[in-house]
Amino acid sequence: MRNQKINWQNVVGGCNINSDKHRHWHETVFVIGAALPKNKIMSSEFHAYKRRWIYLFVACLVNFSNGNTWITYAPITFQTNDFYGNSNAALLFNLIFMALSIPVGFLSCWWTDRYGLRSAILASVFQFHIGAWTNFIGNVIRVAGSGEWFSKNVRFPMAFTGQAVAAFAQPFVMFLPTKLAAFWFPPDQRVIANTLSSMSNPIGIAVMYSISPLIVNESHPNAFPLLASLNVLPSKIDHPKLEKPILTKISSGDLRVPPAMMLSSFSFSCLRNENLKFCIALAIRFQTGVCAGLATVTAVFTLFITRSKPPTPVAASRDSEVEVPGFLEGVKLCARSKTYWVLAVCLGGGVGLFNALYNNLQPALCVLGYSASFSGGMGTLLIMSGLVGAAITGIYVDMTGQFEKTMKVSFLLAGIAACSLAVSINYEAMQGWVVASIFLFGAFGFAIYPIGLEMGSEDIVHVLQYRVCQSTRSSEAKFFLPFLLKLGESPSTGIASFFSQVQGVIYVILTNIFVGQPDAHELAVQTCVDKNSNLKTVVTWSVPFLIWAGGVCLLIILFVGLFWPKYKRRDYEAQAKRDVCGSVSTYEERF
């Protein structure tokens, strides 16, 4: 293929840094933890490799698969608890992902910075439990734990072990987007690369949140899908001794068959048993099998990952001659900033509240008579509206630079939507109110996260710039820009993720402690469980959602009152563009 050359304005790459005026720069670069050997000149021509798109596809796929794995059981809480024989099975399946992300998150940040991109997404040795292969192994164990050959006493511990192994992979794959975009993509393509890989995880969550109630569903008595599936089933199903009682039970509503099971290849065995629990068990095994299949495809694609970094740098800020500060140094830099602490606590708290909502939404809606498909749709709406909101605010802040104002206004509007949801969740047949509340909370709440990560980078650069300026003349400080931008992305993201998982665990446990007991009317209208059994597992969520909304309001007060950032990085870049020579660098497309 013909080489394609693309030009862009490089801030520093083309400057003659060996001139007498800037010779002192060689001696002082160690101040920020970077090292450039003397007599080395930064490259002015860089190479972008076509294989980066394969790497991006793999990163998207592994994030999508891991998101599927985490949220599998949240929309089908009661069926999961019954199938695995544990009243807290669905809760524990969700909590283990958040809890393990706390210690493993820091490990993955350090590992990725220390050993590179490939080790974070591909591992051929089991004991490292990294990236796609741990996600794959965890899903295989979950499928084995969902087998009918195990009793319920064995089924849950085994499936939980598989969930834990898959949870081990989550931080490794979620922290990949920034590293992948930084090392493999030129500056004019990093935004799209980061967006695609980062958004794959919430899209995976949204897809599974919507599909789960369709696969495992107790309230779909319609026989038409069954009639369509009978045409492709073995002829012996036409036997009157089998056909008549099944169709009679379905038409009368006595036998409720999940729609996905009626259309699947094993519908006959499910219906032949005329046993709802058998059908639900079959559905859960089918669902975990789908997740495992996707994880298998993901693991196979990771075999195409052959390098951590491209052979030659893709931009000046990724010049191979520059060594970045280590992960621990990055953590120390973050810890020195009071503004960053406020951002990390509030931003992490917002993510934790989102995680708690994913966990509690389905049981809170079903006790008021909302269907499982409606609950699944609301979980999907929460994420998809968030993606729309994040896209709109991202474009807006890029055009205006109003990071702080946009975050605070979005946070306030998300708080209003959260309070609205906490009230609407107490009433029956208020679908419109619930939909509007969830849409607005997702749109404004999700919009905060990408802007917050950008603000975290702004504040770290502020700390670094201060240290540089203490050791160099102001006329020379602008030449540190590429090293400031090359500071490891993992520390700031890792700390924010740490706070999000800690607060997520706290909110989930706290809200589950304060659940209430339903009255006779609520027991009559609930769709959580079969009305003739397991009624004692149904609970109300009025108080937990008030606690949840209170947490949102508390974070808003802290954020609006204490977060007053300075756009040091943007000011620094603008000054550099005015003062530094304007040479043009190129990157060349290679495979």
The two three-digit tokens of residue 416, written as one number: 């209003």
Q: Are 585 and 359 spatial neighbours (Cβ–Cβ below 8 Å)?
A: no
- Give percent above pLDDT 90 in the chain: 15
Query: Is residue 250 included in any domain, yes or no?
Result: no
9 forms beta bridges with 584
What is the tens place of the pLDDT at every residue in 154-213? Answer: 888 888 888 888 888 777 777 677 677 777 777 667 667 777 777 788 888 888 888 877
- 393 domain-assigned: yes
Quick one: 302 and 425 in the same domain?
no
Q: Are residues 292 and 333 in the same domain?
A: no
- Model pLDDT for residues 78-112, shown as the tens digit of each residue: 888 887 888 888 899 889 888 888 888 777 666 65
pLDDT at 556 over 90: yes
In a shared domain, residues 346 and 204: no
User: In Å, how far are 12, 122, 196 from 308, measured between CA atoms?
Assistant: 25, 10, 19
Residue 295 lies in a domain: yes
- Residue 302 within any structural domain of the chain: yes
Per the prediction, the chain carries an average pLDDT of 68
Q: Are residues 337 and 195 in the same domain?
A: no
Average pLDDT over residues 531-545: 83
pLDDT of residue 251: 41
Are 312 and 421 in a shared domain?
Answer: no
Number of domains in the chain: 2
Going by C-alpha positions, the residue among 582, 576, 521, 589 that lies closest to residue 185 is: 589
Same domain, residue pair 302 and 381: no
Residue 246 lies in a domain: no
Burial call 272-296: b when 16+ CB within 10 Å, e when fewer? eebebebbbbbbbbbbbebbbebbb
Residue 541 binned pLDDT confidence (cut-offs 50, 70, 90): very high
At 231-256, the pLDDT tens digits run 223 333 333 333 334 444 444 444 44
Do 461 and 518 share a domain, yes or no?
A: yes
Q: Who wins on pLDDT, 540 or 109?
A: 540
**Structural domain includes residue 275:** no
581 within a domain of the structure (yes/no): no
| Residue 347 in domain | yes
The CATH number of residue 564's host domain is 1.20.1250.20
300 plus 333 within the same structural domain: no
* One domain for residues 111 and 134: yes
In the numeric block, which tokens belong to residue 515?
């659940």
- Whether residue 347 sits in one domain with residue 205: no
Domain of residue 58: give its range: 50-210+287-316
pTM of the model: 0.68
| pLDDT tens digits for range 420-440 | 999 999 999 899 999 999 999
